[in-house]
Amino acid sequence: MIKTLEWTSQGVRLIDQTRLPMEEVYVTCTTYQEVATAIRDMVVRGAPAIGVAAAMGIALGVQQSTATDVSSLRNEFGQICRAMGETRPTAVNLFWAIRRMQQKFEALAPEGVRQIKVSLVDEAQQMLLEDIAANQAMGRHGAALMPSSGGVLTHCNAGALATCGYGTALGVIRAAIDSGKKLHVFADETRPFLQGSRLTAWELMKDGIQTTVIADNMAGAMMLQGKIKAVVVGADRIAANGDVANKIGTYSVAVLAREHEIPFYVAAPWSTVDMNTPNGEQIPIEQRSHKEVTHHAGKQVAPDGVLVENPAFDVTPNKFVTAIVTERGIARAPFSESLKEMAATSAALV
C-alpha cells in the first residue's frame, strides 16, 4: 500500500509528489515549518492529505516546543496553527484539521504540557486512520453507482496519494472493481500540475487497473465516442448547497458530462463539506504561480511577458452534480436538504 504520509519518530514522512512518477522518493519534515512548506509546494497535496499533514505538522511543532507551561505553549500552538492555515486556502480539510487540533488542545489543557504533547500526536494519527476508513466507506457506498463495465473518467488525483490511503474518487473505482465491475479509467492529464498523468496513472497502474491518460481537451471527444460511462472526481470544498470546488478543469468536465447525459459523481469525506459556506461563490480559490503555466518540465512554453491566469480550482454548480458520495452515504439534489440531513447523522466507520 502507498504510504502517502506517516508519523515517524524523526518527523512527518511524505512521498514527494512533485517527483512522481519518475522517482519514488520520500522526504521527512523535521519541523512544522518544513511541513507547511511541503504543503505549499505540493510535495503533499489533495484535500484530505493536506488536512492530516497539517495536523501532523502541528503535533510536531508542539512536540518540539520548549514551553514549560500551558499558557506559553498555547501561544506557540497559535503561531503553528496560523502557519499551517496560510499554506493553501481552498481545501477546507486543512481548516477542519486545524480546528480539530485546537479543540483537542483546549480539552487537554487542564492535564498539562506533557499530556498535550503526547495526545496531539495520537490525535493526528487517529485522523489518518479515520481518513482511510472514510475512503473505504465511500467505496462501499459509491461502487453501486459505477457502471458494470466501461470507461470512467476522473480528473486530477483523488486517490491514495491525495488521502491517507485508498482514495475518494479512486476509492469508489477500486471498490467497484473489487466488486467485480470491469472498469477502465480515463485519467485527464490535468494541466498545469499534471496530477492525472503523473499521479493517478501511477497509482492505478501500481494496482493493475486499466488506465488511459488523455490530455484535458480530449474528454469531450471520448464522451461523444461513447467511451465514458460515468465521471467521478474528488473535491476540495463542498458548499452547503452542493456546489463543488475541485481541481481547475472539473467544471468543464461536468458541463461536458451533462451534454452527453453521463452521470457526474463527486466523492469526498464529510470533512470536505463546509456547511458554513452557503454556496460556491464564497469559496476562496487559490491562485498559483504563473510559472506553472508558462513553463513545462523546466522549459518555457509561452512568450515572455504574456498575461497568465492560474487558478488552481474551479467551482462546479450543484446543477451539474448527479450525486455526492461521502462516508455517511449518498446525497442527491436538492443538496441543501440532503447535505443538511447528512450533517445531522454520523457514520460508524470502524
Residues that bind ligand MRU (CB under 6 A): 45-48, 91, 156, 158, 162-163, 168, 195, 234-236, 246-247, 312
Distance CA 39, CA 61 (A): 15
- List the grid coordinates of 341: 440531513
Q: How many CB atoms lie under 10 A from the CB of residue 57?
A: 32
Q: Of 236, 243, 274, 314, which one is the catalytic site residue?
A: 236
In angstroms, give the least distance from the CB of 39 to ligand MRU: 9
Known catalytic membership, residue 236: yes
Indicate the residue among 70 and 324 with the shorter CB distance to ligand MRU: 324
- List the grid coordinates of 324: 455526492
In angstroms, give the least distance from the CB of 115 to ligand MRU: 33
Place of cell 446525497: 331
Residue nearest to ligand MRU (CB): 234
Q: How many residues does the chain have?
A: 350
Indicate the residue among 70 and 253 with the shorter CB distance to ligand MRU: 253
In angstroms, give the least distance from the CB of 9 to ligand MRU: 28
What one-letter code names the amino acid at 27?
Answer: V
Supply the DSSP string of 210-230, one letter for each residue.
Answer: -EEEE-GGGHHHHHHTT-EEE
Distance CA 275, CA 336 (A): 9
In angstroms, give the least distance from the CB of 59 to ligand MRU: 21
Q: How many CB atoms lie under 10 A from the CB of residue 262?
A: 21
In angstroms, give the least distance from the CB of 238 to ligand MRU: 10
Indicate the residue among 118 and 317 with the shorter CB distance to ligand MRU: 317
Distance CA 232, CA 157 (A): 11
- List the grid coordinates of 281: 461563490
Q: Which residues contact 340 (CB under 8 A, 6 or more apart)?
A: 240, 275
Instruction: Provide the annotated active-site residues.
Output: 236
